[in-house]
Amino acid sequence: MMRNPRARRYLLRLRPDGTARVTIPRGGSPAMARQFAERHVAWLEREFQRLQTQPPKPAVWEIGTEILLRGDAVRIEAGLNGEDKDIKDEDENEDDAIGEAETVRFGGESVRVPDPAADLRPTIESHLRQLATRKLPPRVLELATRHGLTVRRVTVRSQKSRWGSCSRHGTISLNWRLIQTPAFVSDYICLHELMHLRQMNHSPGFWREMERVCPDYRMAERWLKEHSGLLR
Ligand SMILES: [Zn+2]
């Protein structure tokens, strides 16, 4: 509960962390606030359900933010700056020190950021994209070989609404965000696009083939549905 003399009425809000907050207006009382909240329990429950199915995606990434890497929630941590400074001191170019580039770490990765206090998301996302560009295409080729398929080209892109696609000409495009999903999920997407080299549709025959090469595919589909927020 929170008093706000400027509020004209009781306000109920469900915060992203799942706690409810009631605002008490000028002249209001905690008892009335409690009654107000109790009258809107059904609304709260509905909002809570919505929150559960849509994991919040923090708009800004900063030190302490948890992000997904290969399916694990990893925390962005400040790098050991002392260590970095030693390296910098040996550097002849003293101008570098003015920029104060520092390192952040997450899940075994280490990234230089221009300003650790600013939004780290653009820098970290571009690092993740590079990581995906190194890791995903060799994996597709490996899976293609295993299933006797020929891929013409694999590209890693930043699609807004899809995890992957396969063109009639045999080019497979993958979303770099697959580097954030568990291995069984990114393997499923790779296999799904590879299977489109055999049939360009989602017929029952396609799904039968899918199940044969990737028995876990339903679990992977479920994971992607539960984490659809990653794409937005
Ligand atoms: Zn498909």
Residue labelled with tokens 């003015």: 98
Task: Output the CA 55–ligand 1 centroid distance in Å.
Answer: 25
Task: Output the CA 196–ligand 1 centroid distance in Å.
Answer: 7
Task: Output the CA 17–ligand 1 centroid distance in Å.
Answer: 35
Task: For the chain, 232 residues long, give each residue's pLDDT as a single digit of tens.
Answer: 878 887 888 888 887 667 888 888 888 999 989 998 888 888 888 888 877 776 556 689 999 999 999 999 999 999 865 444 444 444 444 444 444 569 999 999 999 999 999 999 999 999 999 999 999 999 999 999 999 999 999 999 998 889 999 999 999 999 999 999 999 999 999 999 999 999 999 999 999 999 999 999 999 999 999 998 888 7
Task: Output the CA 189–ligand 1 centroid distance in Å.
Answer: 9
Q: Is the pTM of the predicted complex or chain greater than 0.85? A: no
Task: Output the CA 218–ligand 1 centroid distance in Å.
Answer: 14
d(CA 177, CA 184) in angstroms, rounded, equals 14
Crossing angle of the two packed helices 204-213 and 183-195, in degrees rounded to 10: 140
Task: Output the CA 134–ligand 1 centroid distance in Å.
Answer: 23
* Closest listed residue to residue 117, CA positions, set 69, 67, 78, 73: 78
d(CA 100, CA 116) in angstroms, rounded, equals 9
* Closest listed residue to residue 180, CA positions, set 193, 192, 167, 189: 189
